[in-house]
Amino acid sequence: MTPTLDYSPDQTVPPLRELMKLAGPTIAQMASYTVMHFIDTLMLSRVGDDAAAAQGAAGMFAFCFISFGFGVLMLVNALVSQNFGRKDYAECGRFLWQGIWWAVTFAIVILPLIPLMPRVFVLLGHESHLAQLEGTYFRIVMAACITKLLSTAVGDFLLAINRPNSVLIAAVTGVICNSTAGYYLMLAPFGPHLGVAGAAWAQNVGLAVELSVLLAIVLQPGIRNTFNVLDYKFRWPQMKLFLKLGTASGLQMVTDVLAWSLFLSFVIVRFGTGALAANNYMFRFLMVSFMPCFGLSAAVTALVGRYVGAGRNDIAAQRAHLGFKVATTYMLTCGLVYFFARQPLMHLFTHDPDVLRIGTTMLIFAAIYQLFDSMFIIYNGALRGAGDTFVPSWVTGLAVWTIMLGGGYVMARFFPRFGVAGPWTLASIYGAFLGVFMLTRFRVIIPRAVAAEQTADAVSPDEKPSATLPVLEPT
């Protein structure tokens, strides 16, 4: 007989300890992904700058293809967390399965689009040999996209039910397998030396191993029985709510990723393949700062959803502000390192003088970008946990396409004398605007929710409406 366990939020734990207990493994998970991409790019840089440039551009477009589905799946965390907070554990499993059904459906829908993408690289003006490398990497990675989508659904479920260490174990195991396979396929003296194709196949191996570990953990009797994991039925009421909130999150993700992909492959490429390679190298360092903060943001999403579900919006706000303080301290430290150590950092990847010159310039802008990126990442995650996804998604889409992509193209097209500094200046302005907006939005939403909660407390129990998800409806 399975013992009855209390999974309710523990409000007696000191706030920082509570946050880091949940965020620590998630940060480590994101750090492991950062290490994976860093090692892959480092190995490809030994193959050549062109191979590394191809991986960066094709990888961005591959993620762009799945980003809508990925963004929707991020609501598994918020919805399961809210049910976890109100101790409706059976509903947790039902939302997990709606996420799984969505992942499978979305993967099937996008598969026919994969053969079309390699031609796009040519239309974007990439050199023929670079476009060929990009097409190879893109096709191989996208062939196994369902593993990434399913891993997101299952991993966010485990995070929401307070199993972050399980997610970390799966991620680290996948990274080790990815790096081992990558070395064999790309650089090992006894290996096949497949270049970008080897990097793509290695990534697929890592994701498949990660998903296998996650599934093995979810199917353990303690989790399976407590959280109704075997309730695999498609349930329209849960799916309708999942898509109602998740669609806005997915649109925010796809517009953001697509704009960044075009910024890289349509704007930065105007300065040459060397600039494309330098941008990829710079992004590997940028991931060192923002990927762990995405892990912290996922923890903030879970905590905000958990306390909103428990009817404690005041504590939800406190955890979001605490997460921002932790993230800002870390990202500002990274920014100082990028600025003062930009030369030796870029030398890790290349010794080409032009790539070095462009790359060190980009690292200066990466340092500036840190000032506001933590604000955007944390408060966007907090708003998602509170169920507020519609307005943030539209503001993000509008800003990224006008300020960053539109402004960046104008700078590259009409003011090429500024080099990559022109487009990256507009990207930095975009980051500042979005960070301030997310903070302001959160400060408006949470007091409104607290006031509604206090009003509800003044109503007699017989007159109160039944609780519905989410507590904060999108406006």
pLDDT of residue 217: 93
Over residues 387-444, the pLDDT tens digits come to 887 888 889 889 999 999 999 999 999 999 999 999 999 999 999 999 999 999 998 8
Under DSSP, the state recorded for 320 is: H
**Whole-angstrom Cα distance, residue 431 to residue 289?**
14
Element (H, E) at 2: none
Tokens 């960044």 correspond to what residue? 260
The separation between CA 141 and the C-alpha centre of its own chain, rounded to angstroms, equals: 17
pLDDT of residue 40: 82
Note the pLDDT of residue 471.
43
How confident is the model at residue 2, as a pLDDT? 38
Residues of the chain with pLDDT below 70 are 1-12, 29, 447-475
Q: What is the DSSP string of 150-161?
A: HHHHHHHHHHHT
Dump pLDDT digits (tens) for 72-81.
988 888 888 8
| Under 8 Å between Cβ of 268 and 309 | no
**DSSP per-residue string spanning 331-372:** HHHHHHHHHHTHHHHHHTT---HHHHHHHHHHHHHHHHHHHH
Query: 292-343 pLDDT, tens per residue?
Result: 888 899 889 888 888 887 778 888 889 999 999 999 999 999 999 999 999 9
pLDDT at 385: 84
Q: What is the pLDDT of residue 464?
A: 40
Taking the C-alpha atoms of residue 321 and residue 18, their distance in angstroms, rounded to an integer, is 14
Q: Provide the token pair at 413.
A: 């097209």
Contact between 299 and 164 (Cβ < 8 Å): yes
Model pTM score: 0.72
**Dihedrals phi, psi of 6, to nearest 5 degrees:** -100, 110
Cα-to-chain-centroid distance, residue 307: 23
Burial of 272-288, coded b for 16+ CB within 10 Å and e otherwise, reads: ebbbbbbbbbbbbbbbb
Question: What confidence score (pLDDT) does residue 273 get?
Answer: 82
In this structure, are residues 162 and 80 in contact, taking their beta carbons and an 8 Å threshold? no
What pLDDT score was predicted for residue 10?
A: 54
- Does the bond joining 3 to the residue before it have cis omega, within 30 degrees of 0? no
Whether the CB-CB separation of 364 and 447 falls below 8 Å is answered with: no
Specify the pLDDT at position 165: 85
What ranges do the domains of the chain cover? Answer: 15-453
| Farthest-apart Cα atoms in the chain, separation | 75
CA-nearest of 386, 398, 400 to 448 is 386
- Can you say whether the dihedral through the CA atoms of 104, 28, 360, 373 is positive or negative? positive
Question: Dihedral of CA 164/166/172/178: which sign?
Answer: negative
Q: What is the pLDDT of residue 463?
A: 46
